[in-house]
């Protein structure tokens, strides 16, 4: 059974609690529950990690090398400047799907560039919780080599 690791970056533990007009009303727990449910349908195992620490995100991504067949990553604000996360993704032998709930590219100009996109397999943004769910589907397909 494929294993997919879902990684969330800084401030995403606050989802659904603050600024719902930007990030939507779902909490991270609800999103993880939805992902668990979808994972069952897809016949895969899903695990979760969230941290506000760039270094912990890098650690988790490195750890995915042996423990998962694919990764779904919402790097939060790190998306726009963390070359350390970028390098961790680039060195990872399993595919990473980048997801964002909001359309980050339509917000402040400093968010118009993702330094991690070039090393991710694909990117899904702007679709709220569906960004995660579609990201999971894509990750599973990538891990199965069907994509």
- The question of whether 53 is a catalytic residue gets the answer no
Query: Looking at beta carbons only, is 40 or 90 nearer to a second copy?
Result: 90
DSSP-assigned states of every residue in 107-129? S-GGGS--SSGGGSSEEEESSTH
User: What is the C-alpha separation between 141 and 121, in angstroms, rounded?
Assistant: 11
User: What is the C-alpha separation between 116 and 43, in angstroms, rounded?
Assistant: 28
Our finding on whether 52 is near a second copy (CB under 8 A) is yes
DSSP-assigned states of every residue in 79-104? GGT-HHHHHHHHT-SS-EEEEESS-G
Our finding on whether 78 is near a second copy (CB under 8 A) is yes
Stretch binding a second copy (CB under 8 A), from 25-33, 38-46, 66-74, 103-111: 103-111
Q: Which of 23, 53, 81, 132 is catalytic?
A: 23
H or E element, residue 123: strand 122-125
Query: Tokens in use for 79?
Result: 């998306």
Our finding on whether 76 is near a second copy (CB under 8 A) is yes
Q: Which residues are catalytic?
A: 23, 100
Residues that bind a second copy (CB under 8 A): 9-11, 13-14, 18-19, 51-56, 58-59, 62, 65, 76-78, 80-84, 86-88, 90-93, 97, 103, 105-106, 110-115, 117-131, 134, 137-138, 141-142, 147
């Amino acid at each position: 059974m494929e294993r997919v690791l879902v990684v969330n970056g800084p401030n995403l533990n606050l989802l659904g609690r603050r600024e719902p007009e930007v990030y939507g009303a779902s909490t991270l727990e609800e999103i993880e529950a939805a992902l668990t449910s979808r994972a069952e349908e897809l016949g895969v195992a899903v695990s979760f990690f969230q941290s506000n620490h760039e270094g912990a995100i890098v650690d988790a991504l490195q750890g995915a090398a042996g423990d998962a067949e694919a990764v779904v990553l919402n790097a939060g604000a790190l998306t726009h400047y963390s070359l350390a996360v970028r390098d961790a993704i680039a060195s990872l032998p399993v595919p990473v799907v980048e997801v964002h709930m909001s359309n980050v590219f339509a917000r402040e100009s400093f968010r118009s560039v993702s330094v991690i996109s070039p090393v991710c397999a694909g990117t899904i943004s702007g679709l709220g919780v569906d960004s995660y769910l579609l990201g999971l589907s894509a990750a599973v397909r990538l891990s199965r080599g069907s994509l």
